[in-house]
Structure 1
Amino acid sequence: MDALEFRPTHVAPPDGLATWTRPDFSEPSVRLDALLPVQVADRLGDWARVVCSNGWTAWVDGRLLVSLPHRPPGTAQPLTRADDPRPLLRRLEHALTQYREQAEDLAEGTIDLEAFRHLTRGLRLGVVLDGDAAWLLDLDQGRWFYCDGLQLHSYAAVEPPGTSGNPAAAPPGPGPGGGDV
């Protein structure tokens, strides 16, 4: 791939990104530099094969790649319901309201700590707002999204990459004998 053909679609996250020669944890490779532009050439479940501007290729956890704020040429499409951040924002708002109401009940003494823990068990929420930028955790999809106000862009994942639909090919998680993601 020459420099004229290379069109980056993503960049590595700000802390860099581990790579593998195959879409499993058995053959680790070099780490991508922070914010290095890459082009996603192939996907296998949560894995993405990326190509760098010099033609070097490797497999990465595709959910950790940061989408560029523009689409590659020729892929422009209208905003779709899946891209619309409002449904996720409503779910996050509902979860935060539930937590706030339980915290108020606990502070007012209408419930005890055990009831508070029971009522908030399983409630998880992740939101970072910085001016017009937002990072939103969607636990239904198991990933963080970057929101520019109009669209959601996959930002990072909660679980290690897997090859969905093939449990035997799923890589082991972190820990003894597992990969370091």
Structure 2
Amino acid sequence: MTTSGFRPTHVVPQQGMPAWEAPDPARPTVPLDPLLPVRLVERRGDWGHVLCSNGWSAWVDGRYLVAVPQDPPLADGALTTVTDPRPLLGRAEQALARYRAAVEELAGGALDGETFRNRTQGLRIGVVVDGESMWIYDPAQGRWLYGDGTRLSTYAADDPPTTTQNTGARSRAVTPDGEP
């Protein structure tokens, strides 16, 4: 049972994991149970200090923690909204089909490694579907979008947000604080 307000950032791997009282291999403690929800509160190199839902804390090898997806943004907190997810899903399907065709040719011996790299260069795709929730990468805009089946909202972007100011014949990108 988790404490009220506890929001895990990670879970322990399926096989469980050893834990230590301090970031020191000479100070082991009770191992953590498989799939235990934890909050990563500090990192020191590969060490991760985790807080468990019952208030207990320990140090672990942070490289093996499994990240928990964050909740999608609320509709009013989205940077931008796209009303119809179908065009982006279609582009993702086309990119995946191009990649699969290149893999088939490579596996069948019709392509060499360099030709495969050239053919797939620039292809970027990312799709996660979890029930009615979907996260999809839009390579043209350099952003991840969250979808609920009816609309998409910006979830994360590759670059910080900018605005465009028209300066006569050409426009320039400007950061939110007005700096170019």
Scaled by the length of structure 2, what TM-score is found?
A: 0.49
Scaled by the length of structure 1, what TM-score is found?
A: 0.48
Q: Computing the radius of gyration over CA atoms, which structure comes out larger, 1 or 2?
A: 2
Higher relative contact order (CA 8 A, sep 6+): 1
